[in-house]
Chains A and B, each alone.
Chain A
Amino acid sequence: MRPALVLVLACGAAAQAKVDRVVILKVDGLPDSVLERYLDERAGGARQGHSRLPWIEHVFHDNGVWMANFYVRGLSLSSPSWSLLDTGRHLEIRGNAEYDRYTLRVYDYMNFFPFYWGYARDRRADMPGVALLDENHIPLLIDHFGRGERYQSFQLYQRGVRWKTLEDSAETAFKKNPRDLLDEWLTGFEIGGALGQQTEQELIRKLADPKVRYLDYFTGDYDHLAHLAKDRLAQRGVVERLDGLVGRIWAAIETSPLASTTLLVMVSDHGMNTSEDTYSQGYNLIDWFNSAEGGGHHVLTNRHPLTEFKIRGLDPFVSEVISPSPQSFYLAGQAREYPTAVMDLDGNERASISLRNNSLNIIHILLDQLTRKKPAGRLRAAEIGALFSTLDRVRPQWRRNVEELSREIAQLRTQIERQEALVASQPKKFSAAQVEAGLAEQARRDAQRLDQMRLEERGYADYIAAMRRLLSLDPADFDPGKFNAQQLIPQRSLGEANSPGDLQRYVVGPSEEGMVLAADGSLDMERSFRRIDYFAALGALAVRNNVQRGVSPRPVDFIATPLEDAVWLWRSPERQARIEWRTTAAGGTELRYVPVAHLSQDDSGRLRYDRVRLGPGFPLEYFEDTQLDAAPQWLEDWHTEREWLKAVHRTKYSNGIIGIVEELRIPPVSDAYLERKRELRRPDFIVFANNHWNFNVRGFNPGGNHGSFFRVSTHSVLLFAGGADTGIPRGLRVETPYDSLSFMPTILDLMGKGDASLPGEPIGELAGGGGR
């Protein structure tokens, strides 16, 4: 057939294609490779010749579209990954937990208990991630549908709680014939299973209602199991259950009123690095940061280490846990007031880490020396001199930030007053019609927002007050006897972000010999402080118990740090890279990979590095990867993200170059306060684990992990199937690579709800429907 004719026919078909309803199966952590493996596996016995996943084969493989190269963009981690899929926008949420540097407020996106509790008390309307997205005016996919048009299951980006579903699922769990109950008791109850069954029943019932246009079903079963067990049969069992669910939902769609215009989609947020013959090995970074070698930090995380062995671990509301260091060099016994390292370890193949500002450490140590040890004579003068020279160096920038924040807080006060008036104007009780119209939920949302604003105001005001006290110190009338360090150093705060230079010469305490005078009578800043180069120290970590073939004794693969217009990747002093970005005239982004060595930063902030020849062993290993679809020299030139994705997606680190920029770049926004909060949540650096290593400390995840850019962790599932009139091709396998940002525009385009402001490219192979 001639191409022109094909195009005409395709356009004709597209013009008639119509999607009225979408049903999305959201599967947490399912890698495409696992799905394809079991799809290709043939069953035996009475199922001879059939796939292990017969329904997925029938619905998506034979009669739908299989996106063979769909990748998560950014870290392969649930909170950010689902946010990309559910919003179609660039990352706003960059970890499963994030911390505000100034106040140490924890954004704990995965903890649903406080949300349910708050919802029951009318103080919460949405999961924490949704509340943050709302604040940033980023709508979810479900927001494109009216309240009566959507059915949302229980998930991370959830609006509201359907108590009835929970109630009914408890009934589903126990209202069975005694025989089945006994069997379940003997083999172990599956609590989550009842909620899944109930959700499935409700979803199938909703399919009969033609008004409902959006339905989703979320399952975390595979992710949960694969973290714990690498066993092939166990994992296959979960995927086979998923296959049965696809069959039941597809059969229900086929008999529903909108069968011919219903689109069924199966999508996963990220993959999973799981291997049948290798356990994933954990390395405890909290212990290391607690230790003297790691700097003796008091470490703040969002969950208890080894939760299962602690009574406190039963607390479902916990979002802040401080692991005190027994080897702190200057903050012994002050863990509550001065945690100096915060970590988000979830996903486990990476750790996002922020440390207290290096200069703040120096100031704290010097104040401590002056106020507690009370040195005399030249040493006293030298310490005071060092204190003020350090303070003077950072004062302009810190003062500017404090004053800007102060102005933003003043504006926030105005907003709070408006919000208070709004909340006060809400009725105390809502009629059934108002509840149905969503007014009650909106009232909760307003109350939730007010709570958050008050919390922010309080936190930032405390920080501003402490910083103003510190910044107002004047050498002319400074008398150490009048102060103590705790009055001047903001508590529970990391202060300003660290530069790469800070992290290379990070001060963790006074030196062993104490404060040392230089020949000129000033304080010898090198000899007076104990310093750590965190890149070198983390890169040198190694273990003695490495009992699996093919697993490196070194847990750390590389470290990523944001620079002003680039991300710096550190693998060794000689093997580093700058991932640089620029914005094109058309508003697109171009990236390039620049191999460098010995990057360092002096006190003035100037970066120095050697531009070196690219070879094997550099971060992301594109040079030596036989799957790279480009010549190695191509890497050092500017290319669009699309070109990069095409070239690198099959490599070991897949789209890591795009992902790391998505993760660490903060694009400007019009609202300065929102932009500041975004920057305050950004970590100082991210440590990526070597293959089959993880940083989980909450428990043990020997089955598998995700979070890195390894292809096995980023390669996700995206499958489509549609009724006769949807125009969805049948039996099509799309090899073109796409990433998470393409998901939402594709769905909206197919439904004729196209949104031109979305940054992602819709999947061309499915184009039809209308919209853009």
Chain B
Amino acid sequence: MRKMGSVLVLFLPMIALAVTPDFHVERLAVPGGSELITVFGPIAGAQGPADVPLLSVLRDDLGQADPESSRLRYVWVLTSMPPGLLQRAAGSLPFFYWRADVGRDPDKRPAPVIDLGSPARPVWHSIAGALTQVLALDPSGALIRTPTRSYRNNLEDQRRVRLLEGLAILSELEDDPEVNALLSDPELTEIETRLDLGAQMLGGLLTTEKIPSAYLKERTRAEEMRGHNWELLRQRAEANGLYFEPFGVNGSATHALLWIAAGDVDSPHKFDGQFLAISNPYQDPRLMNWKGYREERQGREMIPLALYALEYPKVPLLLVDFRDTHSPKRREMIRHAVTDTVSGVLGISKFGNWPYLFGSTAFNFVRVRHGAANNRNARLKAYAEVRQWLALDDSLPPELSRLLQQRLDMMGVNPMEQSVRRQAEVARRQYAALVRYATDPYGLPARIEHDRNRELTAYRHGAAARFGFRMASIATLGLADHREKESGAELEARLDRERRVASQTRFLEMVARSGPQAEIVWNMEEVRRAVDEIAALGIPRRSAGLVARIMRETQDEETRAICARALESLDAGAAGGGFEE
């Protein structure tokens, strides 16, 4: 920037690499009227067939191809697995920050990362676990508190990483026509948002109606972070005489590498490391005698310095430091060790200790204000994203890609994690196990039947009744598990009706909420169809207000007539005592 005369000679155009991996989607019918949709894509450096199964989604459509009566249920991220027994044991060892990639069986039936039909369940589990920890385990002394906290933290981190890996895969599918043909925009939005929220403590509690706005907010936030960090890193590279190279899939830059020209290394350039988190590369003996990876660009030897994640709040997150391989891991270990010492060994909790709460909040505020990477969730997300990016992006030189994967593998501090190098093999075997499970009449089909029964219970019974059923089931160790009497075709028919009513009611709520004169915003044929269908299915009392409101506000005569007819059917039903609650 300073030596204007030589700038144009130095100018090195490094245009952001924007690759679009080739994905394809396969559909597998599951007995009982569901389908398993699996996304396949290339994994960089994978042995065997080019396409690797990455992620599967179960759509329960009751055997019909009608979006109004279908529901998305489970999502499996096939490239990773839950921890095995030995890993769980390792995860409970305090201050053990190394990956223990042992004791897993990829041929074992894969566990879904999320149940979209019941996204709140993990939240209650998590709250119950936290309460047990605080009320029962923490008071039992450091010997109990420390391993149990380590175990829970590692398990929770591992669950989040798996959710976020799924999210990283899905975010690359958004504009893929083949994927869009099988998973509609609203479905993709739902899966992405649920995976993202699933990684937050209470995220599963978000109401379904708020998913589109939650998606938009998160998308906006992510875009703001990426742009902000892209600019910050570019400007810092410029100010320090380094070279900035952004990367990303589908045209959005999610990661960036910083390079230094080998010829510049021994120059006495000024260096300001703020936000870069790396040491001064100028006159660094390690670089002056560099034997590691280098590339030639426009006749200049370039040495990679660091890899950053751009999707991190406020500052780019250092993921790989080529000169100091262990530096990012060391920082992560220190952060974990501090947490484990304070909350595990010393048993100090923010919520029981106001001075600590105040002190740590103030300290963290100041550190974050100055650009420290203090957000554990965001770090996990960046870590999950970079793993997926490296796995799916084959545009990087293979040697560089291998090096980065190797460095990232070293970064793992969670004993329950799995190595990124086995992803392709794990995915194929997990998918094979999933297919076996899906085609086994006592496997997935039975589980779906069970889920449908539960779903019908939810439609029929209020929250209090359902809570009672659940308590009864827990108290009797499952002996008094409530089940609706319908099964098979009868269950499907009842559920089909309930789902249609729920879907149309949701739609009419959206229409009513959207403001006056629905005909200006909505396709009124759709509105009339929804009112008609809801009337034909037996209009529930809760929908009557909606229909009345739409009738009041629309100036479309045909719609008003249909609404009036629907409301008359409600009156008739009420008189005969025949309408549905």
Contacts and interface: CB of A to CB of B under 8 A. Distances in A.
B371 to A, nearest CB: 5
A233 interface: yes
Nearest to B229: A700
Nearest to B201: A186
Nearest to B513: A244
Nearest to A276: B251
Nearest to B314: A308
Contact of A310 (B230, B232, B241, B369): B369
A53 to B, nearest CB: 10
A179 B207 contact: yes
Contacts of A277: 251
A703 interface: yes
Contact of A545 (B197, B238, B527): B238
B13 A546 contact: yes
A49 interface: yes
Interface string A246-268: 01100100000000000000000
Interface stretch (A89-97, A99-107, A536-544): A536-544
A543 B507 contact: no
Interface string A412-450: 000000000000000000000000000000000000000
A291 interface: yes
A311 B366 contact: yes
Contacts of A703: 223-224, 227
Interface string B356-381: 00000000001001110000000000
Contacts of A231: 219-220, 223
Contact of A229 (B205, B220, B520, B522): B220
A279 B221 contact: no
Interface stretch (B55-63, B208-216, B317-325, B421-429): B208-216
A639 interface: no
B521 A234 contact: no
A186 B11 contact: no
A385 interface: no
Interface stretch (B1-9, B382-390, B476-484): B1-9
A44 B202 CA distance: 32
Contacts of A594: none
A225 B227 CA distance: 12
Chain A interface residue number, banded: 35 or more
Interface in B177-204: 185-186, 197, 200, 202-203
Given A279-B230, A293-B2, A547-B15, A187 B223 contact: no
B136 interface: no
Interface in B7-64: 7-8, 10-16
Interface in A215-260: 225, 228-231, 233-234, 237, 244, 247-248, 251
A518 interface: no
B521 to A, nearest CB: 5
A761 B507 CA distance: 48
Contact of B15 (A58, A542, A549): A549
Contacts of A225: 220
Interface string A274-290: 00010101101001100
Contacts of B207: 179, 183
A309 interface: yes
A540 B521 contact: no
Interface stretch (B158-166, B242-250, B336-344): B242-250
Interface centre among A48, A186, A282, A308 (most CB of B within 10 A): A186
A237 B212 CA distance: 10
B522 A248 contact: no
B235 interface: yes
Nearest to A190: B217
Summarize B's interface: helix, strand, loop or mixed.
helix
A665 interface: no
Given A54-B521, A186-B200, A233-B219, A547 B369 contact: no
Chain B: interface size category: 35 or more
Interface string A305-341: 0001111010000000000000000000000000000
Contacts of A137: none
A50 interface: yes
Nearest to B4: A540
B558 interface: no
Contacts of A607: none
A247 B515 contact: yes
Name, among B2, B186, B207, B235, the residue most crowded by chain A CB atoms within 10 Å (CB to CB): B235
B206 A187 contact: yes
Nearest to B13: A546
**Residue from B15, B213, B228, B232 with most neighbouring chain A CB atoms (10 Å):** B228
A645 to B, nearest CB: 34
A229 B4 contact: no
A188 B245 CA distance: 32
Contacts of A188: 217, 221
Interface string A47-60: 11110001100100
A46 interface: yes
Given A187-B214, A545-B237, A309 B515 contact: no
B234 interface: yes
B4 A287 contact: no
A311 B203 CA distance: 31
Interface string A682-714: 000000000000000001111100000000000
12 contacts: A50-B521, A179-B207, A182-B202, A228-B223, A244-B514, A247-B516, A248-B515, A251-B517, A293-B4, A545-B234, A547-B16, A553-B11
Given A46-B522, A183-B207, A542-B4, 9 more contacts: A45-B186, A47-B523, A49-B523, A233-B219, A542-B8, A543-B238, A544-B11, A545-B237, A553-B11
Interface of B: 1-2, 4, 7-8, 10-16, 185-186, 197, 200, 202-203, 205-207, 210, 213-214, 216-221, 223-224, 227-228, 230-232, 234-235, 237-239, 241, 243-246, 251, 314, 366, 369-371, 507, 511, 514-517, 520-523, 526-527
